[in-house]
């Protein structure tokens, strides 16, 4: 991007004094041009350096505000950070007030280095560097204050303390804090921290795809921390020790009723946050239990339903009513619920329709052909006995495909996954792929089905065409291209389609004002998740985004609950400055995969997860992962480097300025 100055991640671009059309490009930095639709953003300071996009800016004022934010964010556990950031703040204020001297600049420089070298966590280790950059590159600006001539610009400096793992988590969970609490032998404190961001520590701790771990700085030293499994440990500890989870001090403190449609992770989470605000929340769920795709899709050996039930029962205990067997659009409608006094709606109906493969024979009802989502539900909810199959094919390469494959291995079938690209492009979680191989699932890559072959109404084979990889498509993955004349038959007695899901939003027909996308998702404002046409309607989770992940659904539900709260209070429905800052930080990237981290001894291995007996793993639906012991959890938590960082923007009043 074109900008005035950048020292981001050690690369200096300095376009000051040059004509705008001759500015050198800075491809490594991505920042929004405006802070929100009312205010402009002209500069950014944070762990990686200083960036100035354009005038107006006041580097000394920004450095002072940043030092103040560091001091406010310091956990005060180590002396260099606690005292050093305070002295920095005081020195910078002195300079801003025109009382500083050249010696103060030298003092600041020394201080930046001392705090960086001697602090124990990210605030002290990564915080002072950008201040040192301002001293290096903006000497004249400092000189302007020291000689007494320069006046403060009085710009606005919102900031956010986060961490690379937290920034990557859609729920914004304070990950370093809950890990520290486990390390300090306080699992209940840890669970309290987790619950501030999600009621689903249990499901997330078992099945989250953990974007946090892909953004863990420990991975720059050795393996990333087991952030996800530590979450589960905190929940398991409370559960195993029969500790009563905290009650809701605001239960039904407000009169307004809110209808949550769909009792999946998005619905459960939205209901939870609203209940904590004191609203009277009812979840309308068409099935006989809550949990959505966790209840019906994620197999028992990954997330047992007995454990899931304890999770939503906790939300129920906070004052949320769950009404099961109620299909919105049929048993209840917007009109009927508005008539019953509901003041806002959260749509969290997910996507539970299996996408059609579009191949011949798919709609003929052959015995042995199953849409993946449907068969997983039948097995998990024990709706019917599934006959043993000799050879089951799974078409697709995502997580539903992995669950179908691993489930049928447990039912005693030979299983082959048929996927149209190669192993490299598999969209499923790599851990799931590895587990499937371990359990004996086979793969046929570069194959695309063309026809289901049947005999006497039963599946006997799949006609498939060979593929080769062409140019990358919009997703960046190489497009599969059919090899003409390569059709062949794979013998099998069962085929499962697992190529994606569609959303069933038939209930929106009642209100044509609510816009929908061409993929049948309700259109809501991407910041607030509020429908712009029908203001009492909000949406999140898979029904809004299409098939995604648990943690995405929970993160959106948290946001939607905040928006519903603002809407019901008659306030402007908007993100807070802190939330906008988190987005800014995500854009510039809180985690640098290439960062070289000195002074950390290698070889502190990640704790292995204890698993059940291999026989049970192979042949039953017993939960595979057993969870960490307390000793293991504390050992693993001790690997956390507490990579807290602070990012700060320089914000002007007018969007364009």
- Nearer Cβ to ligand FAD, position 292 or 461? 292
Q: Is 396 in the site for ligand FAD (CB under 6 A)?
A: no
Minimal distance, residue 335 CB to ligand FAD, in Å: 15
Minimal distance, residue 208 CB to ligand FAD, in Å: 5
Q: Is 500 in the site for ligand FAD (CB under 6 A)?
A: no
Q: Is 582 in the site for ligand FAD (CB under 6 A)?
A: no
Beta strands per DSSP E along 525-588 = 537-539
Q: Is 233 in the site for ligand FAD (CB under 6 A)?
A: no
Q: Is 376 in the site for ligand FAD (CB under 6 A)?
A: yes
Q: How many residues does the chain have?
A: 657
What contacts 492, CB < 8 A, 6 or more positions away? 389, 390, 391, 392, 393, 416, 459, 460, 461, 462
Q: Site residues for ligand FAD, window 310-349 (CB under 6 A)?
A: 327-329, 348-349
Using CB under 6 A, which of the segments 115-123, 287-295, 416-424, 446-454 binds ligand FAD? 287-295
CA distances to 78, 239, 260, 514 from 491, rounded to whole Å, are: 66, 47, 46, 47
CA distances to 44, 59, 505 from 18, rounded to whole Å, are: 20, 19, 55
Cβ count within 10 A of residue 321 = 14
611 has which bridge partners?
625
Q: Is 133 in the site for ligand FAD (CB under 6 A)?
A: no
Minimal distance, residue 395 CB to ligand FAD, in Å: 14
Using CB under 6 A, which of the segments 165-173, 289-297, 385-393, 411-419 binds ligand FAD? 289-297
Burial degree of 519 (CB within 10 A; 0-12, 13-18, 19+)? exposed
Minimal distance, residue 291 CB to ligand FAD, in Å: 7
Q: Report the SS3 class of residue 94.
A: helix
Minimal distance, residue 370 CB to ligand FAD, in Å: 13
Please tell me the distance from the alpha carbon of residue 589 to that of residue 46, in angstroms, as a whole number: 11
Using CB under 6 A, which of the segments 87-95, 282-290, 444-452, 579-587 binds ligand FAD? 282-290
- Nearer Cβ to ligand FAD, position 161 or 559? 559
Q: Is 524 in the site for ligand FAD (CB under 6 A)?
A: no
Q: Is 355 in the site for ligand FAD (CB under 6 A)?
A: no
Minimal distance, residue 348 CB to ligand FAD, in Å: 5
Minimal distance, residue 267 CB to ligand FAD, in Å: 5
Please tell me the distance from the alpha carbon of residue 14 to that of residue 9, in angstroms, as a whole number: 14
Name which of 619, 205, 608, 627 is nearest 406 in CA terms.
619
Q: Site residues for ligand FAD, window 155-214 (CB under 6 A)?
A: 207-209
Find out whether 267 and 323 touch, Cβ atoms under 8 Å: no
Q: Is 266 in the site for ligand FAD (CB under 6 A)?
A: yes
User: Tokens in use for 232?
Assistant: 């589960």
Find out whether 141 and 60 touch, Cβ atoms under 8 Å: yes
Q: Is 84 in the site for ligand FAD (CB under 6 A)?
A: no
Using CB under 6 A, which of the segments 251-259, 398-406, 464-472, 584-592 binds ligand FAD? 398-406
What contacts 336, CB < 8 A, 6 or more positions away? none
Q: Is 589 in the site for ligand FAD (CB under 6 A)?
A: no
Give buried/exposed letters for 529-563 (b at 16+ CB in 10 A, else e): bbbeebebbbbbbbbbbebbbbbbbbbbbbbbbbb
DSSP 611: B
Pairing of strands 40-46, 257-261: unpaired
Total binding residues toward ligand FAD, as defined by CB under 6 A: 42
Q: Is 261 in the site for ligand FAD (CB under 6 A)?
A: yes
DSSP 17: T
Using CB under 6 A, which of the segments 215-223, 435-443, 465-473, 535-543 binds ligand FAD? 535-543
Q: Is 258 in the site for ligand FAD (CB under 6 A)?
A: no
Maximal CA-CA distance, the chain = 94
Residue numbers of the site for ligand FAD (CB under 6 A)?
207-209, 261-267, 284-287, 292-294, 297-298, 327-329, 348-352, 373, 376, 399-400, 403, 504, 507, 541-543, 548-551, 553
């Amino acid at each position: 991007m074109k900008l005035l100055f950048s020292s981001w991640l050690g690369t200096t671009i300095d376009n000051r004094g040059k004509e705008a059309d001759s500015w050198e490009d800075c491809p490594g930095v991505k920042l929004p041009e405006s802070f929100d639709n009312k205010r402009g953003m002209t500069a950014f300071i944070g762990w990686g350096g200083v960036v100035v996009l354009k005038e107006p800016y006041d580097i000394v004022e920004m450095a002072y505000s940043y030092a103040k934010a560091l001091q406010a964010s310091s956990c005060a556990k180590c002396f260099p950070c606690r005292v050093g950031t305070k002295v920095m703040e005081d020195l910078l204020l002195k300079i801003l007030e025109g009382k500083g001297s050249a010696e103060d600049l030298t003092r600041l420089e020394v201080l930046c280095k001392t705090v960086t070298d001697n602090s124990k966590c990210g605030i002290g280790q990564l915080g002072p560097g950008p201040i040192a950059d301002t001293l290096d590159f903006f000497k004249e600006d400092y000189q302007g204050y020291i000689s007494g001539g320069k006046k403060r610009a009085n710009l606005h400096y919102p900031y956010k303390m986060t961490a690379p793992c937290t920034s990557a988590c859609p729920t914004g969970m304070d990950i370093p804090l809950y890990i520290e609490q486990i390390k300090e032998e306080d699992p209940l404190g840890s669970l309290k921290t987790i619950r501030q961001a999600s009621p689903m520590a249990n499901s997330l701790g078992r099945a989250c795809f953990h974007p946090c771990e892909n953004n863990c700085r420990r991975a720059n030293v050795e393996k990333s921390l087991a952030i996800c499994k530590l979450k589960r440990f905190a929940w398991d500890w409370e559960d195993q020790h029969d500790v009563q989870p905290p009650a809701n001090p605001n239960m039904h403190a407000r009169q307004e009723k809110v209808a949550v449609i769909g009792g999946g992770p998005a619905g459960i989470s939205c209901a939870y946050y609203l209940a904590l605000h004191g609203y009277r929340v009812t979840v309308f769920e068409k099935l006989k239990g809550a949990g959505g795709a966790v209840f019906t899709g994620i197999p028992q050996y990954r997330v047992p339903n007995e454990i899931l039930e304890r999770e939503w029962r906790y939300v129920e205990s906070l004052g949320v009513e769950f009404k099961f067997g109620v299909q919105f659009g049929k048993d209840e409608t917007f009109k009927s619920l508005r008539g019953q006094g509901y003041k806002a709606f959260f749509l969290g109906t997910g996507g539970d329709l299996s996408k059609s493969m579009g191949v011949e024979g798919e709609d003929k009802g052959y015995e042995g052909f199953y849409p993946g989502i449907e068969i997983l539900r039948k097995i998990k909810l024990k709706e019917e006995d599934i006959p043993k199959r000799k050879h089951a094919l799974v078409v697709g390469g995502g997580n539903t495909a992995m669950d179908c494959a691993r489930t049928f291995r447990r039912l005693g079938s030979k299983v082959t996954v048929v996927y149209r690209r190669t192993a490299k492009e598999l969209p499923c979680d790599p851990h799931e792929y590895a587990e499937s191989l371990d359990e004996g699932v086979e793969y046929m890559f570069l194959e695309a089905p063309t026809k289901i072959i049947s005999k006497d109404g039963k599946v006997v084979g799949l006609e498939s065409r060979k593929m080769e990889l062409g140019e990358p498509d919009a997703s960046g993955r190489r497009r599969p291209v059919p090899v003409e004349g390569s059709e062949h038959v794979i013998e099998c007695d069962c085929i499962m389609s697992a190529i994606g899901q569609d959303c069933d939003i038939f209930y929106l027909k009642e209100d044509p004002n609510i816009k929908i996308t061409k993929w049948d998702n309700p259109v809501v404002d991407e910041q607030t998740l509020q429908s712009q046409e029908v203001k009492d309607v909000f949406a999140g989770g898979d029904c809004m985004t299409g098939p995604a992940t648990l943690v995405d659904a929970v993160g959106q539900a948290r946001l939607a609950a905040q928006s519903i709260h603002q809407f019901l209070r008659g306030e402007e429905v908007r993100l807070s400055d802190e939330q906008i800052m988190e987005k800014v930080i995500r854009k510039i990237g809180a985690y640098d995969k290439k960062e070289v981290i000195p002074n950390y001894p290698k070889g502190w291995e990640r704790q292995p997860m204890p698993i059940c007996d291999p026989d049970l793993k192979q042949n039953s639906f017993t939960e595979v992962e057993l969870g960490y012991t307390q000793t293991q959890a504390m050992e693993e938590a001790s690997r956390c480097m507490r990579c807290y960082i602070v990012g700060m923007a320089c914000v002007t009043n007018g969007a364009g300025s």
